Amino acid sequence: MTPATDMVDAAAATARAPSLPLVPSQRSPDAPAAAVPTSGNFGRHLRHVLAENPVTLGALLVFIGLVAIGILGASIAPFDPLASNTQDALQAPSRHHWFGTDQLGRDILSRVLVAVRLDLAMALGAVALSFLVGSVAGSCAAFFQGWTERIVGRVVDTIMAFPLFVLAMAIVAALGNNVSNIVYATAIINVPFYARLARSEITVLRESGMVEAARLSGNSRWSILFRHLYPNILPAMVVQISLNMGWAMLNAAGLSFIGLGVRPPTAEWGIMVSDGANFIVSGEWWIALFPGFALMSAVLCFNLLGDGLRDIVDPRRRT
């Protein structure tokens, strides 16, 4: 040993001599860390985050408003959305028609309000479907591995090999030009997001001790997967759903904008913008821009809500 080590050892031995009261090694309490809201229940945490994040709160309120409009539907529309009245065609926004009228004299405000239900329903339907199929497929792939994982992986990779909107177009072309196929097409192109997320989350959980513990209590494999593991990935899934809703809505509206699915005279934001596009160059902006703005607001609301949810669930993934 070096002379230095000897010196230190000697010094240490002296220092430990009875003149210095020894404290038996117990874990000393950690220095107070930064004040993280570790308050027990979820409700308080939720309120704390919402208070810190007025934007998320605003988005939540808008979302509730949208759902309300969707439920109330035609009952709050000032005019019949399908009633054409060529006398009043192409009127600019006025006190009588807040959003103006289109080329057939239909009140645009009424049509925008009524369209909420259809657009929301299409997006919700697509997302619900892709969430169910994707999360189950991804979970099974990660849990059972082997051929299941290979097949699911291949399918997901194949879907992702296409530019997604183009694939949606092709699917609608193949299955037929109606609204339900728009929902199915949007659902199919969104499956990969859920499948991949479920797969990575379950893979992490699979490595934890939960699986062994559950197996020891005599659970079957399916029961382990869906009663024990699956519920744990739901928070991340909810975030993904919210972030995905906006994108699904854009997709569905995009498909109807190019003329797929929705037929006139149905009130739907995409097709309304498409109608109005012809009139933009002549200056009748209200026909296209009001439904487009409504669409943008709804998508923005979902994106902000998704960001807020992500901050609540896992602030580390904040960008």
Partner 1 sequence: MSAAAAVPPMPAPAPVLEVASLSIDFRTREGTVRALENVSLRMGAGEFVGVVGESGSGKSVMAYAITGLLDRAGRVTQGRALFGGRDLLALSERARRASRGRDIAMIFQSPRTSLNPIRTVGNQLADVLRRRHGLDRRAARERSLSLLTQVRITDPEKRLDAYPFAMSGGMCQRVLIALALACEPTVLIADEPTTGLDVTTQASIMELLKDLARRRGMAVLFITHDLTLAAECCDRIVVMHAGHVVEEAPTAVLFRRPRHPYTARLIAAVPARAARLTDLAAIPGSLPDLRGALPPCRYSQRCERAQEACERGPLPIVDIGPGHRVACCNPLEARA
Partner 2 sequence: MIEGRTLRLIAGRFAASLPSLLGVVVITFFLMRALPGDPAAFFAGPAATPEAVEQVRHQLGLDRSLPTQLTIYLRDLARGDLGKSITTGQPVRAELWNRLPASLELTLSGLFLAALIGLPLGVLAATRPGSVFDHASRLLSTAGVSLPTFFTGLVLIYVFYFKLGWAPAPMGRLDSFTDPPRAVTGFLLIDSLLAGSPALFWAALKQLALPATTLALFAMAPLARMTRAAMLAVLSSDYIRAARAAGLGRFQVLVVYGFRNALLPVLTTLGMVFSFLLGANVLVEKVFAWPGLGSFALEALLSSDYAPVQGFVLVMGTVYVLLNLFIDVLYGLVDPRAKVAR
- Please report, as ranges, the residues that interact with partner 2 according to CB under 8 A: 154, 157-158, 161-171, 173-176, 246-247, 250, 253-254, 257-260, 270, 273-274, 276-277, 280-283, 285, 288-289, 292-293, 295-296, 299-300, 303-304, 307, 319
Burial of 27 (0-12, 13-18, 19+ CB in 10 A): exposed
Minimal distance, residue 310 CB to partner 1, in Å: 21
Site of interaction with partner 1 (CB under 8 A):
2-5, 7-16, 20-26, 28-32, 34-35
Helix (H, G, I), strand (E, B) or coil at 183: helix
Q: Which does 176 bind (CB under 5 to 8 A by kind): partner 2, partner 1, none?
A: partner 2
**Cβ distance to partner 1 smaller for residue 26 or 217:** 26
**Cβ distance to partner 1 smaller for residue 22 or 174:** 22
Minimal distance, residue 242 CB to partner 1, in Å: 27
Q: Which does 254 bind (CB under 5 to 8 A by kind): partner 1, partner 2, none?
A: partner 2
Q: Which does 20 bind (CB under 5 to 8 A by kind): partner 1, partner 2, none?
A: partner 1
Residue 238's CB: how many other CB atoms inside 10 A?
Answer: 16
> What's the number of CA atoms in the CB half-sphere (13 Å) around residue 208?
12
Q: Which does 250 bind (CB under 5 to 8 A by kind): partner 1, partner 2, none?
A: partner 2
Tell me how many degrees the CA angle 122-125-127 measures, rounded to the nearest 5: 105
Select from 233, 252, 148 the least CA-distant residue to 194: 233
**Cβ distance to partner 1 smaller for residue 16 or 317:** 16
Which residue carries 């309490």 as its tokens?
29
201 to 123, 145, 195, 196: CA distances (angstroms):
25, 14, 10, 9
DSSP, res 210: H
